[in-house]
A and B are shown apart, each in its own frame.
Chain A
Amino acid sequence: MDFSVLLTDLPTLVAVIVGVPAVLAAYIVGGEYLVRRLPDKARPAVRPWIWVAPALALVAGFLVLPSIGTVITSFQDKHGNFVGLQNYATQLGGFPTGGAWIAIRDNLYWLIFYTLFVLAFGLLLAVLFDRVPYESVVKSLIFMPMAISSVATVIIWKFMYAYQPPGQPQTGTLNYLLNSVFHQDPRTWIQDTSPLLGLIPINNLALIGAAVWGIVGFSMVILSAALKGIPGDLLEAARVDGAGEITIFRRVIFPLMMPTVVVVGTTLVIFALKAFDTVYAMTAGNYETDVLANRMYKLLYFSNDNPGASAVAVILLVTVVPVLIFNLRQFRAVEARR
């Protein structure tokens, strides 16, 4: 990487290195100075706002205002004329394969299977590793994919899923196993739209699988921490009472972990609804693997259809917000119980 370009614009460099801390310090000192001038009674009311204001300004400037702009755009045509719900009608018309429906269907797959797999594997790994002496080592290993960017994850999994015609040496790990261990013909994992067990198209599952591998460490670590928070004497009491390990997990451990499971689960639901990078890098939404976020990207940059993209964004936002509110409430409930 050539960093010499940084030196071509020294004023900016100096402004960034010296300016940022200076501006922050000046703001705090200046704000505090102004608060001190106020009458004693007013100070407690004003001081919090001084500290919160920068964050509020950033949230307003980078989140609230653009969101309002997006909602407005979604009701307009390309030339800024009001068209009512027309953009939504385009996106939601043509059920089951027209408009955004393939993307909505696939987002549902992500919602169900991604959330389920990440939770299930995370819980399983947390509970099993809790009982082995080399716990920290294996947990670090499972957590490691979290450090890999999603695009790199996709490239790794493209190798895993690689396909060669039958009779040729299989270069993809999965097809190699399928061929040499199970003596089956290789499959095109990323392109095959045939449903597995009548539930989910194989290629959608392949995409979700790659994403699950990348994130499972996250749920494992948090669930493991929740597990460690369960008092040992509680489990001991259950054992003294004659409960088996499976009963203990079902009746004691799992209910106590439930609030954390719900918080992690809802966070994952939000991740699933926002799914983009895996799909963009793996198939770009081809072969019926599109998701809403990728559709929005395509409408915005390929079709120059800002209103259509805004409509998809609003649909996505409307779906995510209830989950988000539930997530925050649950988070607060867990917090209050501590």
Chain B
Amino acid sequence: MGVLVMHSVWFKRSLLLSFVAAFTIVACGGGGTPNAGSVKVMAQWTGDEQASFMAVMKPWTDSTGIKIEYEASRDQDALLTTRVAAGNPPDLAAAPSPTLLTNFAKQGKVVALDNIVDMTKLKAENAKTWLDLGAPTGDGKLYQIYSWVSLKGLIWYNPKNFQAKSYNIPNSWDSLVSLQGTIKSGGTTPWCIGLESGAASGWPGSDWVKEIVLSQAGPTVYDNWWQGKQKWNSPEIKQAWTTWGTILGPGGGNVYGGPKTMASTSFTDAGTPMFQTPPKCYMHNQASFITSFFKSANPSVVAGTDYNFFPLPDITPQYAGAHVVAGDAWSMFKDTPQARSMIKYLTTAAAQEIWVKRGGKISPNTKVSLDSYPDALSKSTAQILVNTKIGKYDAGDLMPADMKNAYWSAVLKFAADQTKLDTYLNDLDKIQATAYK
């Protein structure tokens, strides 16, 4: 009897499998040519973000009649790599990690944009940082354009809690350290940190380290570091980790719940203990997107009164005004008239402004008015971004994926046990030796 059951299951499965295979063959042989007047776009926006993106594109689709065939994936590294290798890439892709796009540029899989977009206009409307980031291969050609950007290293706090204890906003690194000492001696943990993020677990802590590297050791070390020319166990990088260690406190004692809570709390929920009464922590370091998670956890909280932010204070005076930034980079895989038209549209202030007004995004385009930002918080983020003296892209996202993942894993290990830092850094150096080849 049992065998019979299994037998029929296997038979059905194999039948199904052969059908699927037959379908695939015919489907591949049968066509695949896109109809005239469409652009295949791949990005990782789903849900609300996808709706915002479609709202951005609506004026363009309405006026040109070109259709967008949109494909969203959170596992873009794998999907895009496979599609490019199979010779079936989308026309345009927006990636949160430009390294992947840079690799494709080096392999000649993406189209240089210099002759496609209006470079004079682009240069006039965007800070040099973004154009430099868009030409990462060293041949001087532009391969990526940035439609929206974000600022990292924002310290979120609850103004009501600060007022109740009459804490002041720290304006220097020393005052930040002394503030966390004050909070600690008051019997509460100063920080909330959550490192859990599925396959990307550890990245929220990696933000801390890279922000400290940039502000403490400066842009040259920072660039050498992500380019693989600065050893992880060099004094500068090691100092950044130990500086983060002073934030975490011995044994993670400055963080709500200690290492266990850090490891098991999703970055999306990490900041919410700030809104409990009494608060479980007073400060939380995260990029600007986190406000939507504050709101979904506590629908009653109001921007400005219940949560606000200050930028992570400068560490070395020489590098004051240095900020880690990130953004949505676009690359073109197929040079079609429709894709050209779309990428030109994406560089315009008019297009970028639509998402800015819907909230959650900041435009790198200086022609986008500060009045377009829906609330005071995003406006002041945009202001900081405009005034950024040293803007550097997220180092983790610039490293080869192998290095980046090892970096994240090291963050998880460091948060659990700071005493073995040398071992972690030596392991990272071993990976650095092979990852850049």
Query: Contact at B5–A221, with CB atoms within 8 Å?
Result: yes
Using known A-B contacts A284-B201, A286-B202, determine if residue A335 contacts B3 with beta carbons closer than 8 Å: yes
Nearest CB on A from B78, distance (A): 5
User: Which residues of B91-148 have CB atoms within 8 Å of chain A's CB atoms?
Assistant: 103
Q: Does B260 contact A (CB under 8 A)?
A: yes
A329 at the A/B interface (Cβ < 8 Å)?
Answer: no
By a CB distance below 8 angstroms, the chain B residues around A335 are 3
A5 x B69 contact (CB < 8 A): yes
Binding site for B on A (CB under 8 A): 5, 8-9, 11-12, 15-16, 19-20, 23-24, 54-55, 58, 62, 78, 162-165, 188, 190-191, 221-226, 228-229, 260, 263, 280-281, 283-284, 286-287, 297-298, 301-305, 331, 334-335, 338
Question: Contact: A302 with B32, CB < 8 Å?
Answer: no
Question: Quick one: which of A55, A188, A226, A281 contacts B1, CB cutoff 8 A?
Answer: A226
> Are B26 and A16 in touch, CB under 8 angstroms?
yes
In the complex, what residues of B have CB within 8 A of residue A55's CB? Answer: 18
Q: Is the CB of A302 within 8 A of B261?
A: no
Q: A19-B30, A284-B201 are in contact. List 9 more A-B contacts (CB 8 A).
A: A8-B38, A16-B26, A225-B1, A260-B2, A286-B201, A286-B202, A301-B78, A301-B401, A304-B400
> Would you mind naming 22 contact pairs between A and B with Cβ atoms under 8 Å apart?
A9-B31, A12-B27, A15-B31, A16-B23, A19-B26, A20-B23, A23-B22, A24-B22, A62-B21, A163-B260, A164-B257, A164-B261, A188-B263, A191-B260, A191-B264, A229-B2, A263-B3, A286-B201, A297-B78, A304-B81, A304-B402, A334-B3
- How far in angstroms is the closest Cβ of chain A from B353? 27
- Give chain A residues whose Cβ lies under 8 Å from the Cβ of B19: 20
| Distance A188 CA – B265 CA, assembled complex (angstroms) | 10
CB distance from B41 to the nearest CB of A (A): 12
Instruction: Tell me whether A302 and B260 are in contact in the complex, defined as CB-CB below 8 angstroms, given that A16-B27, A260-B2, A334-B3 are known contacts.
Output: no
- B30 partner residues in chain A, CB cutoff 8 A: 11-12, 15-16, 19
Residue among A54, A229, A284 having the largest count of chain B Cβ atoms under 10 Å = A284
Given contacts A11-B30, A24-B22, A54-B18, contact A165 B256 (CB under 8 A): yes
Contacts of B23 in A (CB 8 A): 16, 20
What are the nearest 9 A-B pairs in CB distance? A15-B30, A226-B2, A165-B257, A284-B199, A12-B31, A303-B402, A225-B2, A229-B1, A302-B401
Minimal Cβ-Cβ distance residue in B for A55 = B18
Q: Which residues of A contact B29 (CB under 8 A)?
A: 15
Q: By the criterion CB–CB under 8 Å, are A305 and B402 in contact?
A: yes
Chain B at the A interface: SS class:
helix
Query: B405 contacts the other chain (Cβ, under 8 Å)?
Result: yes
A165-B256, A188-B264, A335-B3 as given contacts; A78 in contact with B31, CB under 8 Å: no
C-alpha spacing A188/B77, complex, angstroms: 30
Cα distance A24–B18 in the bound complex, in angstroms: 11
Residue of B nearest to A27 (CB): B22
Nearest A residue to B33, CB-CB: A9
**Contact residues in A for B405 (Cβ distance below 8 Å):** 298, 302
Instruction: Kindly list chain B residues whose C-beta atoms are within 8 Å of the C-beta of A298.
Output: 405
Cα(A5)–Cα(B1), bound, Å: 45
Contact B26 A15 (CB under 8 A): yes
Q: How far is the CA of A171 from the CA of B32 in the complex (A)?
A: 48
Q: Which residues of B contact A302 (CB under 8 A)?
A: 77, 401-402, 404-405
CA distance A305 to B435 in the complex (A): 9
Question: Nearest Cβ in chain A — how far from B61, in angstroms?
Answer: 14
User: In terms of DSSP, what is the predominant structure of the interface of chain A?
Assistant: helix
Asked if B198 is an interface residue, CB under 8 A from chain A, the answer is: yes
Say yes or no: A222 contacts B263, CB within 8 Å: no
Tell me whether A228 and B1 are in contact (CB under 8 A). Answer: yes
The residue on B at minimum CB distance from A172 is B264
CB contact between A12 and one of B32, B199, B200 (< 8 Å): that residue: B32
Would A8 and B409 count as touching, CB distance under 8 A? no
Query: What are the residues of chain A within 8 A of B5 when measuring CB–CB?
Result: 221-222, 225
Bound-complex Cα distance A208 to B81 (A): 30
Contacts of A338 in B (CB 8 A): 3
Tell whether B67 is near chain A: CB-to-CB under 8 Å.
yes
In the complex, what distance in Å separates the CA atom of A334 from the CA atom of B202?
50
**Chain B residues positioned under 8 Å from A165 (CB to CB):** 256-258, 260-261
A286 CA / B26 CA spacing, docked (Å)? 41
Which residues on the B side are within 8 Å of A286 (C-beta)? 201-202, 409, 412
A188 to B400, CA, bound (A): 31
B86 proximal to A (CB < 8 A): no
B437 CB within 8 Å of chain A: yes
Alpha-carbon gap, A281 to B2, bound state (A): 32
Please name the residue on chain A nearest to B71 by beta carbon. A5
Q: What is the CA–CA distance of A24 and B26 in the complex, to the nearest angstrom?
A: 11
Choose from A62, A162, A284 the contact partner of B198 (Cβ within 8 Å). A284
Query: With a CB–CB cut-off of 8 A, which chain A residues contact B78?
Result: 297, 301
- Complex CA gap A190/B198 in Å reads 11
**Contact residues in B for A283 (Cβ distance below 8 Å):** 201
Chain B residues near A191 (CB-CB < 8 A): 260, 263-264
Kindly provide the distance from the CB of B146 to the nearest chain A CB, expressed in whole angstroms: 24
Residue pair A304, B401 in contact (C-beta under 8 Å): yes
Report B296-326 CB contacts with A as 1/0, cut-off 8 Å: 0000000000000000000000000000000
- The answer to whether B4 touches A225, judged by C-beta atoms less than 8 angstroms apart, is yes
A58 to B18, CA, bound (A): 8
B 181-215 contacts with A by CB, 8 A: 198-202
**Which A residues lie within 8 Å of B22 (CB)?**
20, 23-24, 54
Shortest distance in angstroms between B131's beta carbon and chain A's nearest beta carbon?
Answer: 27
Q: Which residue on A lies nearest to B6, using beta carbons?
A: A222
Residue of A nearest to B30 (CB): A15
Q: Which residues of A are found within 8 Å of B81, using beta-carbon distances?
A: 301, 304
What CA separation (Å) do A287 and B30 show in the bound complex?
A: 47
CB distance from A5 to the nearest CB of B (A): 6
Q: Could you tell me the distance between the alpha carbons of A54 and B38 in the complex, rounded to whole angstroms?
A: 36
**Chain B residue at minimum C-beta to C-beta distance from A299:** B402
Asked whether B166 is an interface residue with its Cβ less than 8 Å from the other chain, the reply is no
User: With a CB–CB cut-off of 8 A, which chain B residues contact A280?
Assistant: 199
